[in-house]
Structure 1
Amino acid sequence: MSSAELNRAYRDCRRIAAAHGRTYFLATRLLEPERRPAVHALYAFARMVDDVVDDADAPARSLESAARLDRIEDDLRGYLVHAPTEAADAEHRVLLAVSDTIRRYGIAAEHFWVFLDSMRMDIPGSPHYRDRYPTMAALREYMRGSAAAIGLQLLPVLGTVVPTADAEPAAAALGEAFQLTNFLRDIAEDLDRGRIYLPADELAAFGVDDELLRHCRESGRTDPRVRRALAHLIAVNRGIYRHATPGIELLTPRVRPGIRTAATLYSAILDEIERGDYEVFTRRAVVPRHRRLRVAAKEFALAAPTQRAALS
C-alpha cells in the first residue's frame, strides 16, 4: 500500500476519535505524537463495530448487521495476511489503519476476535445474544471482550516497563472499569433499546427489577431503591478503578499522563452521577469541559520537562 493511502486511513481514524471520543481524544493528546495514530485507529475500529451493533436494534437489520460483523472480521483477517494496495471506502480505511497498527505493535489478534464475539452478544437474533445479565460474573464475561480486550489491544502501543503479561491484568481491569462506568451512565439509553447491562442479582438485593427500572424511565424519577442500587454499583466500579490504576505505573513513563487523565476523567463520570442525585433516567452525566481541561493540564504540568517537549 502507498504511504499516502495509509496516512489517509489514519487521518480518518483521527477524525472519528475527535468526533466521538472526547475524553479519550483529549487523553491521547498527552501521548507522544508517534503513538497517537495507533490509539486513534483502535478507537475508530471499536467505534465502527459499535455502530454496526447499534444499527442491529432495528429488527429488520439484525441479520444484516450480524453478516456485516462477519465481513469485518473476515476482511481484518485478510488484511493481516496481505495488506491491500488501496482501501475502497471509510470502513476499509479503518481496517487498513488498524491492521497496520496490529502488525506495527505486535498486538495479539486474538484480542480482536474476542472483542467481536462479545459484540455479537449485542445483536438480536444471534445465538449468543443477551439483553440481561443475571450476575456480575456473567456481565464480566461480556466485558472481557467488550472492554478488557480493548485495554489489552492498547497495551503494546503504550509500552510497559515490565513484561507485557505482567501489566495485562491491570490493563484489562481498567477497560472493565471504563465499561461499567458507561453502563451506569447510559442505563436509560440501554433501557430504550431493551437492554440492562447491570447484574440482576445485585439490583434485586435492593428491590430493583426490570419493571421498576422501566417505571423510572417512564416517570423520569429515580426511585430510592434504584438510588441505593446505583450507589452500591458505583462503589463496586470505584473498587475496580482502585485495582486498575496502580497498573499505570507499569506503563512507559511518557504515556502515564495520558492514561491517568483518561482514568481520572472517566471515573469522574461517577461523581457527576452522584452530583445529579442519580437522575440517570432524564440526564446523561457528563464531565464539564472546564474540568476535563483542568485535569489534562495538571497531568501535563506534572510531566517531566523532557516529556512535555515530546507531548507538545
Structure 2
Amino acid sequence: MSIDEAFATAEQVTRSEARNFYYGIRLLPVRKRQGLCALYALARRIDDIGDEQAPLEQKRAALSLVRKELSDIDSATDPVLAAVAETARRFPVPLDAFDELIDGVEMDLAGASYETFDDLRIYCRCVAGSIGRLCLSIFGNGTDPRAPQFADQLGIALQQTNILRDIREDLLLGRVYLPRAELDEFGVRLQLDDEGTLHDPDARLATYIGFAAERAQHWYELGLRLLPELDHRSAACCAAMSGIYHHLLVRIQANPTVVYDRRMSLPAHEKGRVALTALAKAVLPV
C-alpha cells in the first residue's frame, strides 16, 4: 500500500466516524488534513478498543499491542499506523500523547471513579488533552509558549461537554464520571426511572449540571486562547471542531433535562453552519 493509499484509508475512517470533528478537519489544506485524519484514525482505534464488546483481558492485550506498535511505528505496515508514521515525519507529532490516551482508556477498563474534579481532570487530560496536543502539532504552535497548555485546556473543555451529554448512556454502561464529592454536595443520586430516563424529582441533578456546565464554559475560555496563535485555516478548523461541542454545552446549560432521555446531538445543517461561520471569521486569504 502506498502512503497516499494509507492516508486515504485514514481519511475514510475520519469521514465516517468523526461526526463532529470532520466538519472542521475538512477546512484544512491537504497535508494538514491528511495528518490530522491519520492522528484521528489511530485515536479512534484506541478509543474503540475500550468500547468494544470483548473480554477485559482481550481489550488490555489490544491496547498493549498498540503501545508496542507505536514504539516501532516506522516499521508499520498497517495503513493507519503508516499514515501516522509519515505524519510524524512531516510534523512534530508528540507520539507519547497516544500513550496518554491509552492510559485514559485503561482507566475506563479498570472501572475508575473520580472523587473530586481534580481527579476527573487527570482523566480528561489523558483522553482529550492528549488529542488537543496532537492537533496542535498539525496546526502549528504560533509564538506563545503556552500554546500546548491552551490546546490541553480546550481538550478538557470538550471532554467535560462529552461527560455532561452522556450522563445517561454512561450510567447504562455502569460508568459515572461526575465527581462523587460534588454529587454528594448537591444531593444527587444518579439513577434511572422505569422508563430509562434520569430520575431527578427535586431538580438536584439539573442544578448540578448547570454548575458543571458553567465550569466547562470557563475551560473553553481558557482553551480558546489558542485560536490567535494559529494560522487562518488551522484557526478555522479548531474553531469549527470546538464550536460544535460548545454549542452542545450551551444547549445543555440552558436546559439540563435535554440529556435525561437521549444522547443529544446537533443536526447536520447546524454543524455545517458552525463550520462555515468559523471559516468566515478566519478571513481566509485568497
Coarse TM-score class (shorter-chain normalised): over 0.9
**Aligned twin of 2:68:** 74
CA distance in 1 between counterparts of 2:157 and 2:194 reads: 25
- 1:171 equivalent in alignment to 2:140: no
Q: Which amino acid aligns with 1:187?
A: I
Is this contact kept in 2: 1:41–1:98, CA < 8 A?
yes
- 1:215 equivalent in alignment to 2:212: no
**Aligned twin of 1:199:** 179
Instruction: Provide the aligned C-alpha RMSD in A.
Output: 1.9
- 1:141 equivalent in alignment to 2:117: no
Give the alignment partner of residue 247 of structure 1, picking from 200, 207, 226: 226
Superposed displacement of residue 301, structure 1:
2.8
- Bigger drift between 151-160 and 251-260 goes to 251-260
**Aligned twin of 2:80:** 94
What does 1:101-112 correspond to in 2, within 5 Å? 101-112=87-98
Superposed displacement of residue 172, structure 1:
0.1
**Aligned twin of 2:103:** 117
Aligned CA distance change for structure 1 residues 303 and 143 (closer, same or farther; 3 Å)? closer
What does 1:246-285 correspond to in 2, within 5 Å? 246-274=225-253, 277-285=256-264
CA distance in 2 between counterparts of 1:179 and 1:305 reads: 29
- 1:37 equivalent in alignment to 2:34: yes
**Aligned twin of 2:212:** 233
Is this contact kept in 2: 1:171–1:247, CA < 8 A?
yes
Is this contact kept in 2: 1:217–1:281, CA < 8 A?
no
CA distance in 2 between counterparts of 1:275 and 1:50 reads: 30
Superposed displacement of residue 302, structure 1:
3.3
Give the alignment partner of residue 19 of structure 2, picking from 19, 22, 41: 22
Give the alignment partner of residue 277 of structure 2, picking from 295, 298, 306: 298
CA distance in 1 between counterparts of 2:19 and 2:242 reads: 13
Structure 1 runs of 4+ with >4 Å offset: 216-219, 274-277
- 1:7 equivalent in alignment to 2:4: yes
CA distance in 2 between counterparts of 1:217 and 1:36 reads: 46
Give the TM-score normalised by structure 1: 0.85
Superposed displacement of residue 221, structure 1:
4.5
**Structure 2 residues not aligned, in runs of 5+:** none
Residues 76-98 of structure 1: CA deviation (Å, up to 9, x unaligned): 2112xx434xx3xxxx2211111
Superposed displacement of residue 279, structure 1:
3.3
Aligned to 2:27, what secondary structure does the other structure show?
coil
Is this contact kept in 2: 1:131–1:194, CA < 8 A?
no
CA distance in 2 between counterparts of 1:131 and 1:218 reads: 27
Aligned to 1:258, what secondary structure does the other structure show?
helix
Superposed displacement of residue 235, structure 1:
0.7
Aligned to 2:276, what secondary structure does the other structure show?
helix
**Aligned twin of 2:133:** 152
Give the alignment partner of residue 180 of structure 1, picking from 152, 160, 164: 160
Is this contact kept in 2: 1:13–1:44, CA < 8 A?
yes
Give the TM-score normalised by structure 2: 0.92
Residues 272-292 of structure 1: CA deviation (Å, up to 9, x unaligned): 334554232311111122221
CA distance in 2 between counterparts of 1:174 and 1:277 reads: 22
Is this contact kept in 1: 2:67–2:99, CA < 8 A?
yes
